[in-house]
Amino acid sequence: MEIAFKELYCKNFNRLKNFANVYLRSEEVAVCIIQDIFTHVYENRERFPLDDSLLPYLFVMVKHRCINYLKRERAKQRYCNDSLYQFNIDIALESLNCYSIESFDYKRLVKLYRKALEAMPTSVRETFLLSRYDNYKYREIAKIQNISIKTVEYRMMQAIKVLKEYLKGYYAIMLHLLLG
């Protein structure tokens, strides 16, 4: 069982964290929330199936915890005038509220995304993944990869170009469904 739990944790921690981070816009808060959820699972490990079938449940938990956190933040912000921060919270909350896997052509999107990643030159992909999954600033990436900031910017531009190319059709359909 310990092995199963370890596998569950290692495989999914960063996935869940990255998910939460998109809405929370703070890696530290995201880590706290995900740690909390795994603590809960660990304490009740006898009652849970410790495999992929737990994943939808984990995502739902993350979603609710994020919503709770954002609501509390919004309540705190009511007396402040940071309109941008308020906007960030509001948008995140609303997006999260209507997030559900069914609203996407999920498999198609993922497939296109994977293809786009494969189509990138290796160096571009590495820079792109560093920025995307490890939340490094451009300056830090430059230091890590021993290249100039200009090169980082250029590679990011290339990466987005490739992504756009691959996801263009998908975006069009989604926008059409959404607005039409």
Q: Is there binding between residue 1 and another protein (CB under 8 A)?
A: no
Q: Residue 147: is it exposed, middle or buried by C-beta count within 10 angstroms (0-12/13-18/19+)?
A: middle
* The token pair that represents 80 in the structure block: 């402040």
The per-residue b/e assignment along 87-112, b for 16 or more CB within 10 angstroms, e otherwise, is ebbeebbeebeebeeeeeeeeeeeeb
Q: Which stretch binds another protein (CB under 8 A): 24-32, 46-54, 67-75?
A: 24-32
Q: Residues 51-90 vs another protein: string with x where CB under 8 A?
A: --------x-----------------------xx--x---
**Of 21, 61, 70, 162, the one binding another protein by CB under 8 A:** 21
| Min dist. Cβ of residue 79 to another protein (A) | 20
User: CA 148, CA 154: separation in Å to the nearest integer?
Assistant: 10
Q: Is 30 in contact with 17 (CB distance < 8 Å)?
A: yes
> How many Å from the N-terminal Cα to the C-terminal Cα in the chain?
49
Q: Is there binding between residue 127 and another protein (CB under 8 A)?
A: no
Note the residues at the interface with another protein (CB under 8 A): 6, 9-11, 13-16, 18-19, 21-23, 25, 28, 31-32, 35, 38-39, 42-43, 59, 83-84, 87, 91-92, 94-95, 98-99, 101, 103-104, 106, 109-110, 113, 129-136, 138-140, 142-144, 148-149, 160, 164, 174-175, 178-179
